[in-house]
Every structure is written in structure tokens, then in C-alpha cells.
Homo-oligomer: A and B are copies of this chain.
Amino acid sequence: MTYCVAIRLAEGLVFASDTRTNAGVDHVATFRKMRVFSAPGLRLVLLSSGNLATSQSVASLLERRMRLHDGTGLSTVDSLYDAAALVGATLREVLARDADAAAGVDFSSHFLLGGQVDGEPVRLFHVYPQGNFIEASEDTPYFQIGESKYGKPILDRVLDYHTPLAQAIQCALISIDSTMRSNLSVGAPVDLVWLRPGDANAPSPVRLGENDPYFMRLREGWSRGLREAFATLPAPGWDI
């Protein structure tokens, strides 16, 4: 499985993803699910979940066509909306090629695409397995794909559109840590990247291993804080 979360805030965008893939419990591997696309006037981050063959093919085609400069690649888009449509179209193309070959196999993939095209604000899209997509808003500032339920409560309690970028990074990492603790199919290392509106440079992902010093201090701090919060809860009034 996989867990990816992307957050769109007033201050910018945060993306985090795990790196574990599995086909059954005895076929576990590590794959990057975060890709950066950068060109003059364009900075994009793509996260993927679902069928690894499908999501890798979509990313490979997007990367190749961007390099080719033949007018069909991500570097030609004028808007992040068009970039999301291009991801969706590439997904449909891959599925049309591969997905009829075997019945009963789930070829579907989800994508989160966020970033900035010059002249627009930062934007964030969720591209569905059907190739259509929705955009994050001030009301719903985050999207998750993959094994999303374990890590949702902390996002729902802490995040809103005006959360500072640094706090959103903490929140995303805790959301991933909670998922890794409760589900074996999501695992370290974690890829993390953020992006502010108007950044001059391409987004530069950070990789956090299980024993990364900051990730460890964050997880320990959160565990301790939760235990302290729990210890101060009002006792039940019933005769127990």
C-alpha cells in the first residue's frame, strides 16, 4: 500500500509520502512515490498511489515528454489545471494500453499534483483513476491517497488553510507516523517537500529515514505529548 498527503495553505504547499510498496505481504519493496517536475515558469510535485506499474508508466511518460520538448509535455502548460488534465490523459493512455490485458486485476492509480505555474497562485489537484480531477480549496486544504484513514484524524484536528507551513510539515509527518504505526503496508523512509508561492528554485525533496534525528525527535515529542494529554483527561464520573 502507500500513504501520501498533500496540503495547500495560504503560505504554500506541503507534500509527504511513504516509500513502501507491496503485492501481498511477501513482496515488499521501496519505491519513491514523489516526483518533481521543474521547468522555467513551472514547479510541480506529483505523488502517486495504487498500481505501481500504472503510476510508474504515467510518471515515465510525463518525464520523457517533458524532456522531448515536442509540445505535448508538462512544460507547455499555461495553468496547473492543464497539468492536471495532462496527468489524467496520460493515466487514461496507460490504462488503455495495459488494463485490458487481465481481468480481476486492479490497475488503478491515484495522483496528487500540486505546484505553481507562473502567473497563477499555488494549486493542488487530486487526479482520480478515471483521469478526472478535483482541486483543493480553502475549505478542504488537503488531499490524501492510499492508506488514508489512520492519518486523517490528526489532519482534521490541526490543519486549516491558514496553518503555517512549518506546522503543516509537522502535521504531515505525524499523520504518516500514525499510519506507519498502525499499518505495516506503509513504511519509512518518508519523502517530504514544500513549496512557497514564487520560489525561484525547483522543489527539493528531503528524505527522512526511520532514524532521521528530526523525525525521531518529532515522533518522540508527539508520543510524549499524547501521553501527557491523556493523563490530564477528566476521569469518568461513573462508579467503575
Q: Using a CB–CB distance below 8 Å, which chain A residues touch chain B? A: 147, 149-154, 156-158, 165-167, 169-171, 174, 178-179, 181-183, 194, 206, 214, 217-218, 221-230, 232-238, 240
Contact = CB atoms under 8 A, between A and B. Distances in A.
Nearest to A148: B149
A182 B218 CA distance: 24
A233 B227 CA distance: 14
Secondary structure call for the A interface: helix
Nearest to A204: B238
A230 B150 contact: no
Nearest to A237: B214
A194 B237 contact: no
A152 B182 contact: yes
A214 B229 contact: no
A225 to B, nearest CB: 3
Chain A to chain B: the 9 pairs with minimum beta-carbon distance, closest first: A225-B229, A149-B149, A153-B178, A152-B182, A217-B234, A221-B233, A166-B240, A170-B233, A149-B150
Total copies of the chain: 2
Contacts of A171: 230
Contact of A226 (B157, B235, B237): B157
Contact of A153 (B147, B150, B169): B150
Contact of A222 (B224, B229, B236): B229
A218 B240 contact: no
A2 to B, nearest CB: 15
Nearest to A206: B238
